[in-house]
Amino acid sequence: MAKYGKAAGKNVKSAMRRRKRGTLKSGSGRTVKSRKQAIAIGLSEAREKGAKVPRKRTGGGTRKGGARKTGARKGTTKRASKKR
C-alpha cells in the first residue's frame, strides 16, 4: 500500500517549483534554498489539506554537535590496562 497519496505528491511538486523560482518561504519568512526543507514544507501543506501523508516522526531528527545517543562523552572511554 502506498504511503503517500497523489495530492501529497502534487503539494511537494508545487513546493519544489516555488523553491526553484525563489518564492518559497519558511515559517520565519526566509527564502528556502534547501531541497529537503522544500519537501518538508510540501508535505506539511498536504497534511493541512488532509491529504494522505504519514504522521511526523517525533523525537528523532538530526543531532547537531551534541553527545552521542548512548551517552558517551569525550574523554570517558575505557582503555585496556597494560600488563606489567
pLDDT, one tens digit per residue, over 6-62 is 999 999 999 999 999 999 999 999 999 999 999 999 999 999 999 999 888 887 666
Alpha helix positions (H), 30-71 = 35-49
- Domains of the chain, residue spans: 6-49
> Are 53 and 4 within 8 A, CB to CB?
yes
- Give the SS3 label for residue 25: strand
Q: Which of 44, 41, 47 is nearest to 15 (CA)?
A: 41
Average of per-residue pLDDT across 62-84: 67
Distance between CA atoms of 31 and 13, rounded to whole angstroms?
17
Give all strands (DSSP E) within 1-84, no chain letters. Answer: none
